[in-house]
Copies of this chain bind each other. A is one copy, B any other.
């Protein structure tokens, strides 16, 4: 099926759709609950509070160094559950396909979803496929939803952050956003930046087991700036970030300088930001660094006593400036 393409019949509810679903999705995802092809999948959940999340993925291009739209969709949903303190367990996936999409590309995305789901230890148990005519969508969009369980005793939230708390990031910022921009090729650049796209649920489980955590987020759209501004608003305190302490790869910094972008606003898809009590900061950093997904973790800031809900950056030049909420950043379709 090397030059086979998606046709409208693949979305019509008929035999063509059944064949596509059986030969491609059922075979690749290889899950007994999915294979029942019933209207709803039946789940078994561990003790605790069920958690539920969803994300639509429209990234352009759908394949980029370090990942693709399928890996992004699985990791994005797994990570939303993970940073909420949940153990991700089940995923749904809904495809919107443009007529004419190469079936080989769809198969590649499906395989990538399966690999990523296995890596995260989650099951893809239900799905849907719609096909729209040529020109009514751009290649393929993937929407995943996820169900997980928050173990008893876990309580997280920006409103739990206290003065003196420390802010950590699990690795360099902006690799994902920069990789996608770079992969578009329009820039005439070749930085060979790879996306950081990866599941974070083992890292979050380890961190939650090791230290008391106030809040966790994954800095996707809007980057670190968006997360910290939300937290400053939620806890009503000033958050101070030490620019020199924030890990940013040289290639990402270079691309940002060329394009007039700020890595603090670039999306990551495999990093987390955590706020922990001062006394737990050293252990938290060690815990993150002990996992391959957090090897380059860093302590980047702290929560001040000041009751102004804002984020202040202590610059490498010794000055300071406000790290504003992102307004309308010029980076559509990086996720």
Binding site for B on A (CB under 8 A): 7-9, 11-18, 36-45, 49-58, 60, 79-81, 83-84, 86, 90, 92-96, 125-133, 135-138, 141, 143, 145-148, 150, 157, 217-218, 220-223, 226, 230, 267, 325-333, 335
Query: Which chain B residues lie closer than 8 Å to A41 at the CB level?
Result: 51-53
With A93-B54, A218-B39: A16-B327 Cβ-Cβ less than 8 Å: yes
List the number of copies, as a whole number: 2
A127's partner among B17, B54, B135 (CB-CB below 8 A) is B54
With A39-B80, A40-B81: A12-B56 Cβ-Cβ less than 8 Å: no
Residue of B nearest to A38 (CB): B84
Query: Which chain B residues lie closer than 8 Å to A90 at the CB level?
Result: 52
Q: Is the CB of B80 within 8 A of A52?
A: no
New A-B pairs, 14, CB < 8 Å, besides A15-B326, A52-B126: A9-B328, A13-B329, A14-B226, A15-B325, A15-B328, A37-B230, A38-B84, A39-B218, A42-B150, A50-B147, A52-B145, A54-B127, A54-B128, A56-B94
Q: Is the CB of A39 within 8 A of B81?
A: yes
Contacts A/B (CB < 8 Å), 10 sampled: A11-B332, A14-B326, A14-B327, A14-B328, A39-B217, A54-B94, A58-B137, A135-B138, A143-B143, A145-B145
Smallest beta-carbon distance A332→chain B, Å: 4
Residue of B nearest to A332 (CB): B8
Smallest beta-carbon distance A128→chain B, Å: 5
Query: Which chain B residues lie closer than 8 Å to A42 at the CB level?
Result: 49-52, 84, 150
With A12-B222, A12-B332, A220-B13: A56-B96 Cβ-Cβ less than 8 Å: yes
Query: Which chain B residues lie closer than 8 Å to A217 at the CB level?
Result: 39
Between A37, A86, A226, A330, the greatest number of chain B beta carbons within 10 A of the residue's beta carbon is seen for A226
Residue of B nearest to A138 (CB): B136
A141 CA / B12 CA spacing, docked (Å):
17
Smallest beta-carbon distance A83→chain B, Å: 5
Top 9 A-B residue pairs of the complex, sorted by shortest distance between their CB atoms: A13-B221, A9-B328, A13-B222, A145-B145, A40-B84, A54-B92, A14-B326, A143-B143, A56-B94
Smallest beta-carbon distance A200→chain B, Å: 11
A135 CA / B132 CA spacing, docked (Å):
13
A130 CA / B96 CA spacing, docked (Å):
14
Query: Which chain B residues lie closer than 8 Å to A331 at the CB level?
Result: 12
